[in-house]
């Protein structure tokens, strides 16, 4: 098969399945965001300066911002956690003291 025939065949296949050649398996979750054009241009410029992809730059910026946020906003204790429930020993002490 000639090279031009292969290119033509590939183009035809991609027309029917445009995202098939773009799928990259990854265990990481994905999301879509919509940005103002000025913000996107700034991200593009910074990513180029740092020799990163825009996706990688966004991931790093979000990680940094979330680390700061999580330091000031720790997750709440689950209601079923050991710290939230009194221990058996403390229950026993309370029942003994309440009887006396």
> Would you say the C-alpha torsion 44, 49, 55, 61 has a positive or negative sign?
negative
pLDDT in tens, 30-74: 899 999 999 999 999 999 999 999 999 999 999 999 999 999 998
The larger pLDDT score, comparing residue 23 to residue 56, is at: 56
Residue range 84-98: mean pLDDT, rounded:
53
pTM tops 0.75, yes or no? no
- Give dist(CA 41, CA 57) in Å, integer: 13
Is the pLDDT assigned to residue 27 strictly greater than 70?
yes
């Amino acid at each position: 098969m000639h090279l031009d025939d292969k290119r033509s065949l590939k183009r035809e296949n991609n027309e029917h399945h445009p995202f098939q050649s773009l799928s990259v398996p990854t265990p990481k979750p994905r999301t879509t965001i919509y940005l103002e054009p000025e913000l996107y241009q700034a991200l593009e410029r910074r990513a180029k300066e740092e020799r990163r992809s825009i996706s990688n730059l966004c991931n790093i910026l979000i990680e940094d911002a979330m680390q700061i946020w999580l330091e000031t906003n720790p997750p709440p204790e689950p209601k079923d956690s050991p710290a939230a429930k009194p221990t058996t020993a403390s229950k026993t002490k309370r029942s003994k003291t309440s009887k006396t």
